[in-house]
Structure 1
């Protein structure tokens, strides 16, 4: 089930970007995981201030999601959100080459692991949904390190050389990648083989079948693939997030997503998408500074969305 190499021809810019990235990763490995994480956080804070990269998008969305927060509180959450994303980026960059034992040791607390084992014992495969909260990339690596047969549905990267490198290292850990363009074809195969298939399901994309569900009270376009596959193949669905703890290590939370079949397939799909979106929102409310607010989550909405619920 190994993913084939990207067919796109790399450009000179791609090769230079890859070379610089590999040099940076090599240097970060020398200083260790905790220091690399700290450096990533410090650098990312510069993107918030003084550079101001997507600062307006970030603060507007946080203020819309948490109208009870003061401007100072919104600024604080935004700055820490940049720091969290920087730490996640650098932690992920040095993940290749990390031993399974080291990966497992970076989780200090796991809640719901028995749910995952029970789901796979049913033999129908497993669908995992998560969001851009905490370190979502590490979550997949942790499952693979613990011996879970896992396929991750992911969008293609702009740089094909770096994409091949990342996918190769994922494969070394034990995780396979399904490009979103191939999900319809490959996900059924994975479920029949009793593998877990993971979806990051809080960012919309053109061309993906989606539905609109409330996210912090505003309609947000959300992929419906996980719900469709669950109903079609009888696979259980679990919601999972990995969030950073005060000491720098992570906590892994796994919760079941209720699946109900009423005979109205469209309504059932929408209900499942709503459930896991609500579960993600609940976790974001606990860890608002670890969400990727820099993405325009409400960019695409139904045309009849009331003005007060449109993209902030």
Structure 2
């Protein structure tokens, strides 16, 4: 009998599955993946009607100035892009360097490299816009000794978590950092004299207990995280915003906009406010590529005020 524990057996089985998927991804050209996406759109949109009620509500409340017909056209374009998102993300498991460089253009990398040369690490705000998974490949624009970190929340399924870790570390410079271990990883890299550029997807819908700020975003009073800003200020990172565009199917341009090299000089929450202003500009330029299936406005400011109070920057339950 073997000495493998059930956990070790499961890990080996999961690793084998990932290897098989990598082979499949390598064999599938983009034209074939997009054919799959076209079929998936019909199933997801017309048959399953995946979260259509949430999408329609989000679009209606975010763009009340648009007609119903305009929003329906936008809705269909969103679902077509969502299906593309899935197949494009799958392709990252096994994509050639030549193919990747042809399809992903990085603009503004020299500004980040300038910070690196002057001994300053960098951070970036980004949202659930276009294919954010492709931003894990930003390292193609930098020397090999730089590290591109993507902050993430580990998934409940170990199999899915390992799969996405593999996708997000498809480039040698890419690392994934669990959200509860950010400071430890950044400090470790700094002690090793390795410059890092960490991306924070900062537009999630937090639980009431994790809301530290309310602001106007896409015509909604929106509760948001401020943790990314706090880390950027604490580590004195140069702060960037990544503006992602999709000029045509299967091609992306990521522009790295410098917000500040001195985050501590900004008033509390101003960096977070600036991020959401920039993200809204990006979304309004081409709304179809935002993640409208997320029910991000289900929590109200009124309910928050009934249950919580912010004291010295911390969200505390109100005493009953």
Give the root-mean-square deviation of aligned CA atoms: 3.3
Contact 2:238 2:263 in 1 (8 A): no
Deviations 1:9-55 (A, max 9, x none): 87x99999998887666545433124313422541353222321110
**Ranges in structure 1 where 5+ consecutive residues have no aligned partner:** 1-8, 307-312
SS in 1 for 2:291: coil
Bigger relative contact order, structure 1 or 2 (CA pairs below 8 A, ≥6 apart): 1
- Counterpart CA distance in 1 for 2:270 and 2:261 is 9
Equivalent in 225, 228, 231 of residue 226 of structure 1: 228
User: 2:281 — aligned with what?
Assistant: 282
Q: TM-score, normalised by structure 1?
A: 0.81
Alpha-carbon spacing, 1:31–1:168, altered in 2? closer, same or farther (3 Å): closer
User: 2:64 — aligned with what?
Assistant: 67
Tell me the matched-pair count: 294
- Counterpart CA distance in 1 for 2:79 and 2:18 is 20
Alpha-carbon spacing, 1:295–1:27, altered in 2? closer, same or farther (3 Å): same
User: 1:236 — aligned with what?
Assistant: 238
User: 1:159 — aligned with what?
Assistant: 157
Deviations 1:203-259 (A, max 9, x none): 134475643222113122222122112222221111113332225311222212247
Alpha-carbon spacing, 1:261–1:186, altered in 2? closer, same or farther (3 Å): closer
SS in 2 for 1:268: coil
Alignment of 1:1-312 (within 5 A): 26-107=23-104, 109-144=105-140, 146-147=142-143, 148-174=146-172, 175-190=174-189, 193-206=194-207, 208=210, 210-258=212-260, 268-303=267-302
Alpha-carbon spacing, 1:213–1:31, altered in 2? closer, same or farther (3 Å): same
Deviations 1:275-302 (A, max 9, x none): 0111111011112111110001212332
User: 1:6 — aligned with what?
Assistant: none
Contact 2:106 2:138 in 1 (8 A): no
Larger of the two Rg values belongs to structure: 2
- Counterpart CA distance in 2 for 1:269 and 1:45 is 46
**Ranges in structure 2 where 5+ consecutive residues have no aligned partner:** 1-5, 306-320
